[in-house]
Amino acid sequence: MKNRLLLFAVLLFWSLLRVQAQSGAVTAGEPIELNTAKGSLKGTLLVPASGKPMPVVLILSGSGPTDRDGNNPMMQNNSLKMVAEELHAQGIASLRYDKRGIAESKAAAMSEFDLRFDHYVQDAAAWAQQLKKDKRFSKVVVLGHSEGSLIGMIAARQAKADGFISLAGAGQPADKVIRQQLMMQPKMVTEAAYPILDQLVQGHTVAEVNPMLASLFRPSVQPYLISWFKYDPQAEIRKLTVPVLVVQGNLDLQVTTNEATLLATAAPKSKLVEVENMNHVLKETTMDLKANMATYSNPTLPLASKLMPEVVGFVKGIK
């Protein structure tokens, strides 16, 4: 059941990737935008009242049409909004934003065929550089959730950020994660999918795709997959010379604790934190599958209680 659910998560990502121009909820904070060649990206800056410079955390959302608050058209949980609000309560500023083509950043939408993983990296790095120029902030820390973890570790290095936090990030290249998620499927599925993955990893597109795999490997999304597969999270996190925090919930249905261990091992000076009873959307839950999934659509459920003390302590401890 767990492997089938993981596959569902992957398929959901690619079926949702083309959903763009969703409407986002209005949130409190200072509106902020980043001008790019393809249009403006919109975000929310939360800055506590202070008479001196403070740290700021750039929050990157996960895959698909996930907005700045951690929500998408099918699920609302406000996870990233809550992260920002708890940072604010502890005297730490934050910036979270809608990815290009999503919610208030719909003007920066690109066609699915033209979109690349690197566009997300470039956007994140540009946001971090913009924050570094703001004299209100003493240091910039990049926090990436799920797919945002890989985006964040690359962007943090490019922008010379002061620290990096991975929340529920994969420790292997995406093609390997997909292969693992397909392993428990019927043999006919793996026999059709693995040759496609082999070609994409080598940088080659595949013209003919079995209809049952269209949501995952449709031709229009293959260039994005190729651009994503070329990155190895372990290799990228190893390049970081700044403090690194790797956080993983032990009840995450989409990313296992082993993925976090791989990341932390690749960055020996990092700190690894396993949060008991936390799932992929950063909420406390139980081993019950139905209860776990219910948290994905509960915007009032608070974050796992042990998450933010670790995040806050890490940010404040960066010298």
Contacts of 247 (CB under 8 A, 6+ apart): 165, 166, 167, 168, 260, 273, 275, 307, 310, 311
- Parallel, antiparallel, or unpaired for β 93-97 and 54-60? parallel
Give me the tens of pLDDT residue by residue for the chain, a chain 319 residues long: 444 434 444 444 444 444 343 333 334 699 999 999 989 999 999 999 998 999 999 999 998 899 999 999 999 999 999 999 999 999 999 999 999 999 999 999 999 999 999 999 999 999 999 999 999 999 999 999 999 999 999 999 999 999 999 999 999 999 998 998 898 899 999 999 999 999 999 999 999 999 999 999 999 999 999 999 999 999 999 999 999 999 999 999 989 999 999 999 999 889 999 999 999 999 999 999 999 999 999 999 999 999 999 999 999 999 8
Using alpha carbons, select from 135, 146, 136, 40 the residue that is nearest to residue 83: 146
38's enclosing H/E stretch is none
Residue found under tokens 């121009």: 21
Largest CA-CA distance found in the chain, in angstroms, rounded? 63
Local structure of residue 188 (DSSP, 8 states): H
Record the tokens describing residue 125, joined without a space.
């790095």
